[in-house]
Homo-oligomer: A and B are copies of this chain.
């Protein structure tokens, strides 16, 4: 088959940008042999044109002038790897207006301004491809859109933030405090100097917005997602949960019930130690999906890093160049075919199991008080853990796990428990997420 030349312009020459340049420059022959497409890096735009990078560009293609890219009609595909929701949005809009298809890894921008950008792409007759926006190298977007197209998806559980998973893995394996594990992650380059976006759960929520929109075929927004981060997780709870058979993970969860009601949430989650997601360690990502026909399916791989993310970006470049992305973009649309707004469940209505830790005074009658408050709120106890021996200030950790109940009842019970003068610190509450087992 005759080779087709595909000229690519790249904006944002950072870590992932360097990886993309590296693949296009070094793997052009191999990609041409596989796809009959000859990728050519025609232009690389960055405000910093002097800093050394781990890849050597051909002379003359690095510039700080975006117009060189926009005005070059031979460039069919523009890759936005600037990140963030400010200038990146203008860049994408300008590239679409200049008649270029857009490839991006920018989850924050798509989660916050996706509808506007998709509409601009529609109007320009172009497409936006964003495989790299979720779970780095794991081809989860095409997996859901194409591979699972025959399924009504009922649930998705994802570990999609490598920073948080790295921190929680180390807190679990090495019994480290959160601050200690965070510092380690920063020292090793797994967490940014300002880790807020990751540890707050917001980055995970950005990815959940994108994944849920595709999985359920309706545009959801960041406001639809309940978000809790991992900043307040104590290693004690990881240990106590571990003793009861659980591992702690920050999960992105999207569920749709039989009535089409949707629950979207990001929070620390105790999952059974036997679940596959419990064995996803360090900076790896994994997504478990439940489909009406396929049942349980899981994708696992590196969720970040120069080359894994670049792998997804270049996969998109190839898919766009083949014309498949445009078809997917037009047909498997992101615009609501059902109105999501009225279907989003509030967190108060969530039915879940819960892990509760109270620091209670080690004295007679305490358990009766606790038991009465739970009974008054119709909360049934599933398990209890209280080690013998008394800790600081004559307190002892009492761990209670519940049977499934509504969040609002648990919230009410926690407020009542906090008021007991025998309960010394704010009760800790972590949701237990019972992901269905893989039965024969």
Q: Which residues of A contact B (CB under 8 A)?
A: 1, 19, 23, 27, 30-31, 33-37, 131, 137-139, 142-143, 146-152, 166, 188, 190, 217, 276, 279, 281-284, 291-302, 307-308, 310-315, 317-319, 322-324, 327-328, 330-333, 337-338, 438, 440
Contacts and interface: CB of A to CB of B under 8 A. Distances in A.
A135 B35 CA distance: 24
A367 B19 CA distance: 54
B330 A324 contact: no
Contacts of A323: 327
A152 B30 contact: yes
Contact of A311 (B142, B293, B319, B338): B293
A31 B291 CA distance: 13
A112 B27 CA distance: 31
Contact of A293 (B1, B138, B314, B319): B314
Contacts of A317: 150
A150 B295 contact: no
B338 A33 contact: yes
Given A31-B150, A35-B331, A137-B293, 17 more contacts: A1-B330, A19-B293, A23-B293, A34-B149, A34-B217, A138-B297, A146-B315, A150-B314, A276-B276, A282-B438, A293-B307, A294-B307, A296-B301, A297-B300, A298-B301, A322-B328, A322-B331
A300 B146 CA distance: 16
Given A324-B327, A438-B281, A302 B296 contact: yes
Most buried by B among A1, A34, A322: A34
Contact of A319 (B146, B281, B307, B318): B146
Contacts of A19: 293
23 contacts: A131-B147, A137-B294, A137-B297, A139-B143, A142-B147, A146-B318, A146-B319, A147-B312, A149-B314, A150-B311, A166-B440, A293-B308, A294-B301, A294-B308, A295-B308, A297-B299, A298-B300, A298-B301, A299-B299, A299-B300, A322-B331, A323-B327, A324-B328
Contacts of A27: 150, 152, 292
A295 B300 contact: no
Nearest to A282: B440
Contacts of A147: 131, 139, 142-143, 312, 315
A307 B311 CA distance: 31
Given A152-B27, A281-B438, A276 B302 contact: no
Given A283-B440, A311-B294, A327 B322 contact: yes
B324 A150 contact: no
A27 to B, nearest CB: 7
Given A284-B438, A307-B293, A142 B137 contact: no
A314 B151 CA distance: 9
A302 B308 contact: no
The 5 closest A-B pairs by CB, nearest first: A139-B147, A150-B314, A297-B301, A293-B311, A137-B294
Nearest to A302: B295
Nearest to A190: B440
Contacts of A30: 152
Given A1-B330, A308-B294, A31 B149 contact: yes
Contacts of A166: 440
A232 to B, nearest CB: 25
A297 to B, nearest CB: 4
B294 A150 contact: no
A302 B142 CA distance: 19
